[in-house]
Amino acid sequence: MVLGTGADPSAIASGGRTPRSLPLATGKEYDGDMKRESIKDVLDRLPAVESQGEAYLLGPSLDATVFAQAGADVLTVPRVDRIELRPEYAALMGSKGEILVFPYEQIAGLKIEPRGGSAVSGGTSKSPPGFGAR
């Protein structure tokens, strides 16, 4: 199970989705789906991401993976270079030029990590890979 999907394990086993409502600090509730505003907020905060209207270009220092639900399965879309946030759906462009389109209800998560040792914030990391424990 992917964290953040909000899916009930029994619903996953049956192929359906039962969202869990979680209160947020804004007074709204999170129902388990990645909303357009949530994705936009995350991408707007990263200096290595270039915004061009509804499109976000992830720079060469970032590696992005999108997780999308398809029934009981979770699809992994690796190496996403461009994300277009349309009103009803997200269009993802991969590093090979492929385009995948998902409604926001199917987007379960977004993972952005540094590529080649640079930090997501745009700086550099001098620590070795791992959890920091030696």
- The answer as to whether 46 is a domain residue is yes
What is the edge-to-edge ordering of all strands in the sheet holding 107-114? 73-77, 62-70, 107-114
25 found inside a domain: no
pLDDT at 28: 56
What pLDDT, on the 0 to 100 scale, is given for residue 120?
Answer: 53
17 assigned to some structural domain: no
Each residue of 70-88: pLDDT tens digit? 888 999 999 999 999 999 9
For residue 29, the model assigns a pLDDT of: 55
Domain count, the chain: 1
Q: Is residue 102 in a domain? A: yes
- Whether residue 124 is contained in a domain is answered as no
Assess if residue 8 is contained within a domain. no
Q: In terms of residue numbers, what domain contains 80?
A: 34-114
Neighbours of 56 (CB within 10 A): 23
- The encoded tokens of residue 40 equal 């936009």
Look at residue 14 and tell me if it is in a domain. no
Give the residue-averaged pLDDT of 89-109.
94
Convert the pLDDT of each residue in 30-63 to its tens digit: 555 568 999 999 999 998 999 999 999 998 899 9
Residues in contact with 7: Cβ distance below 8 Å, sequence separation at least 6, in sequence order: 1, 17, 18, 19, 32, 69, 108
| 99 CB-near residues (< 8 Å, 6+ apart) | 91, 92, 93
Residue 120 lies in a domain: no
The CATH number linked to 97 is 2.30.30
